[in-house]
Amino acid sequence: MTRIDAKFAELRKAGRKAFVTYVMAGDPDYERSLEVVRGLPGAGVDIIELGLPFTDPMADGGTIQLAGQRALEAGQTLARTLELAHAFREQDDTTPIVLMGYYNPIYSRGVERFLAEAKEAGIDGLIVVDLPPEEDDELCIPAQKAGLNFIRLATPTTDDKRLPKVLTNTSGFVYYVSITGITGSAAAEAGDVGPEVARIKAATDLPVIVGFGIRTPEAAERIASVADGAVVGSAIVDRIGKGEPTEKVLEFVAGLAEGAHRG
């Protein structure tokens, strides 16, 4: 059982929805990023998605693209991102960390080496947005064998024919992308999301978490009410990018967490 599996078992027992946050590793620099990440569990975050900065983030909107650029310019690399996770683990051995990004940096490092280092650093799961199920032998299957969850994205365009393929070899949870398009580009609507979540849950026992387009505590509550939890990324990354003090960022996160946990 991974930390992700344990967290969802704990949430189910408590009758509570999950609140997941995304932040870019190394944004705006390593020290500030680590400070924010270390503060997330205390602000009510159940699972941390740690963005791996990449030069060509095709699924990300402007806010997260800029965060990746800031991180890269500050010297953030895959190795430094694993160092950041390792440093977080020195103080927190229970909060799950999902590394989210693109395959190129992992491929460049070497899959076997990367998985060993990720496991040692305390990474619990991977979301690799540009590796489809047809490429499962590339990373998904080796990751599962190494004890990491491999989390897949489902979208509004994932029809009933495609869904079983998406769910094959997926573990940890399913990440439902609530809108078509890039991150931060539109608002998620519970009325649209609810039926889609129900359709996915009819095909899997995994929790279904909804992300993209959630920017307020009220929106987090509405989305969590029709899913197993909510993810917020761009709204948090935007505040980091504007230079808000860490305590203000974490206050904002705490409000979002309260909303999601009411869902």
- Per residue in 6-17, pLDDT (tens digit) is 999 999 999 999
Check: CB of residue 253 under 8 Å from CB of residue 21: yes
Following DSSP, what letter does each residue of 150-182 receive, concatenated? E-EEE-TT--TTTHHHHHTT--S-EEEE-SSSS
Half-sphere exposure of 256 (CA within 13 A, CB side): 31
> Residue 220: pLDDT band by 50, 70, 90 thresholds?
very high
CATH topology of domain 3-262: TIM Barrel (3.20.20)
* Cα–Cα distance list, 172 to 13, 102, 194, 208, 213 (Å): 17, 19, 20, 10, 22
Q: Is the pLDDT of residue 133 over 60?
A: yes
pLDDT digits (tens, 9 = 90+) for 168-213: 999 999 999 987 655 555 566 778 899 999 999 999 999 999 998 8
Calpha distance 60→56 (Å, rounded): 9
Of the residues 5, 27, 46, 49, only one is catalytic, namely 49
Name which of 2, 15, 10 is nearest 225 in CA terms. 15
pLDDT attached to residue 186: 57
Nearby residues of 108 by Cβ (< 8 Å), 6 or more positions away? 78
The letter for the amino acid at 225 is S
pLDDT attached to residue 178: 87
- Residues linked to residue 154 through DSSP beta bridges, in sequence order: 176
Calpha distance 68→62 (Å, rounded): 10
pLDDT attached to residue 181: 57
What is the token pair recorded at 59? 């699924």
Name which of 204, 236, 180 is nearest 48 in CA terms. 236
The letter for the amino acid at 220 is A
Q: Is the pLDDT of residue 33 over 90?
A: yes
Instruction: State the helix-helix crossing angle for 234-241 and 246-262, rounded to 10 degrees.
Output: 170
Name which of 161, 227, 238 is nearest 190 in CA terms. 227
**Does 124 qualify as catalytic in the annotation?**
no
Out of 72-76, 106-110, 164-168, 175-179, least confident range? 175-179
What does the pLDDT average to over 125-135?
Answer: 95
What does the pLDDT average to over 119-130?
Answer: 97
Calpha distance 162→70 (Å, rounded): 36
pLDDT digits (tens, 9 = 90+) for 74-98: 999 999 999 999 999 999 999 999 9
pLDDT attached to residue 213: 86
pLDDT attached to residue 180: 62
Out of 56-60, 147-151, 220-224, 247-251, least confident range? 56-60
What is the pTM assigned to this prediction? 0.95
Percent of the chain with pLDDT over 90: 90
Q: Is the peptide bond before 156 cis (omega within 30 degrees of 0)?
A: no
Strands 97-101, 208-211: parallel, antiparallel or unpaired by DSSP? unpaired
At residue 101, φ and ψ (nearest 5 deg) are: 180, -145
* Cα–Cα distance list, 214 to 10, 56, 220 (Å): 24, 24, 6
Query: What average pLDDT does the chain have?
Result: 95
**Does 90 qualify as catalytic in the annotation?**
no
pLDDT attached to residue 192: 86
What does the pLDDT average to over 126-131?
Answer: 95
Q: Is the pLDDT of residue 159 over 60?
A: yes
What does the pLDDT average to over 227-231?
Answer: 97
Of the residues 5, 27, 46, 60, only one is catalytic, namely 60
